[in-house]
């Protein structure tokens, strides 16, 4: 078995604006980095477009929200504002449907042992999208939908989501706040957008929030994972580990002030792989979230995917 790398040209057709940090160039930088010979073992997968994608989205989101995205008619040069930094373009709906299709297909392939793990290089990202509202660059909550899909279609009782994006995944937390069958742990800068993710936000004991401060170092972040997040994840005994893989906690990222470097992302991934191997035969699906300095993003994704390949 190998590591799957999901990609598709449709993901480049979501255009949130010329000066928007969540640009198609992000995926181009990742694709270039993963052309290196060390990634020859990756199995590249063109993300499918599932005819039942909308039904899968309804596992998390309400119909009114879905209709706002899928039924807004736009010409090639139009844009439609969903909130102050979240926009639709003519290609956004197709990209969003294919993103959902990719993460669900990755869950299917990994859970049925057709692959050992997967990295989904998709956009738009998802972890800020609540069940009722698209926000924070995010249209549909890809990783939340993947978790529900794993439960509905594979009968899983315990799905874990680990989110190391520099921003708190308020949408993912909202989706599962009262659901003990999904564990959600997030490390994120505070005070920072979206303003959620305090340690006392614990759901029904299934939510673990670990705030980080500006200029926090990799050594400090590793200690918090070792002392707080990893023990809670082990205690949950997940049957599948999903990663909201945001790389904007890198020291060079323009939207965060945490000081992680590539080796910190390598360490995080390697440790998550170890836990997944102990708990669920290594079943991991990683889903791209943030990361807005193109050079830092490409380098960070490279070590992340290399760690998945070595699993």
pLDDT at residue 49, as a whole number: 97
Is-catalytic flag, 20? no
Three-class SS of 52-104: CHHHHHCCCCCHHHHHHHHCCCCCCCCCEEEECCEEECCCHHHHHHHHHHHHH
35 three-class SS: coil
Distance between CA atoms of 148 and 156, rounded to whole angstroms?
9
The pLDDT, as a whole number, for residue 94 is 97
Residue 141: name the closest of 57, 65, 225 by CA. 57
Q: Which pLDDT belongs to residue 181?
A: 98
Structural domains in the chain?
3-309 (3.40.800.20)
Return phi, psi of residue 100, to 5°. -60, -45
Burial tier of 164 (Cβ tally within 10 Å: 0-12, 13-18, 19+): buried
Give the whole-angstrom CA distance, residue 84 versus residue 134: 11
Q: Which letter, b or e, does each residue of 53-64 get, where b requires 16 or more Cβ atoms within 10 Å of its Cβ?
A: bbebbebbbeee
* Whole-number CA gyration radius for the chain: 17
- How many C-beta atoms lie closer than 10 Å to residue 106's C-beta? 28
- Residues of the chain below pLDDT 70: none
33 in helix, strand or coil? helix
Predicted local confidence at residue 184, as pLDDT: 99
Q: What is the DSSP letter of 10?
A: G
Which among 128, 149, 167, 304 is annotated as catalytic? 128
Q: Cα 271 to chain center, whole Å?
A: 17
Plot region of 119 (φ>0 → left; ψ -120 to 50 → alpha; else → beta): beta
């Amino acid at each position: 078995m190998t590591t799957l790398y999901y990609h598709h040209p449709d993901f480049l057709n979501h255009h949130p604006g010329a000066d928007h940090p969540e640009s198609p160039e992000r995926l181009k930088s990742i694709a270039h980095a993963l052309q290196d010979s060390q990634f020859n073992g990756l199995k590249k997968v063109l993300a499918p477009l599932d005819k039942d994608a909308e039904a899968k989205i309804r596992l998390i989101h309400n119909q009114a929200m879905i209709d706002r995205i899928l039924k807004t008619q736009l010409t090639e040069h139009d844009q439609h504002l969903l909130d102050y930094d979240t926009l639709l373009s003519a290609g956004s709906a197709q990209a969003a449907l294919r993103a959902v299709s990719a993460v669900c297909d990755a869950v299917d392939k990994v859970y049925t042992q057709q692959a050992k793990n997967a990295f989904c290089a998709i956009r738009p990202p998802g972890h800020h999208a609540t069940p009722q509202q698209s926000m924070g660059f995010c249209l549909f909550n890809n990783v939340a939908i993947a978790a529900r899909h794993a439960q509905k279609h594979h009968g899983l009782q315990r799905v874990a989501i680990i989110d190391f994006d520099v921003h708190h995944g308020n949408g993912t937390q909202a989706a599962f706040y009262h659901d003990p069958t999904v564990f959600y742990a997030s490390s994120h800068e505070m005070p920072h957008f979206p303003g959620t993710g305090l340690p006392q936000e614990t759901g029904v004991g299934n939510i673990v929030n670990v705030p980080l401060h500006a200029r926090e170092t990799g050594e400090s972040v590793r200690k918090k994972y070792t002392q707080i997040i990893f023990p809670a994840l082990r205690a949950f005994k997940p049957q599948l580990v999903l990663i909201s893989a945001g790389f904007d906690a890198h020291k060079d990222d323009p939207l965060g002030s945490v000081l992680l470097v590539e080796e910190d992302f390598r360490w995080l991934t390697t440790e998550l792989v170890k836990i997944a191997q102990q708990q669920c035969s290594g079943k991991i699906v990683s889903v791209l979230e943030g990361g807005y300095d193109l050079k830092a993003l490409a380098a960070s994704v490279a070590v992340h995917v290399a760690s998945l390949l070595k699993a």
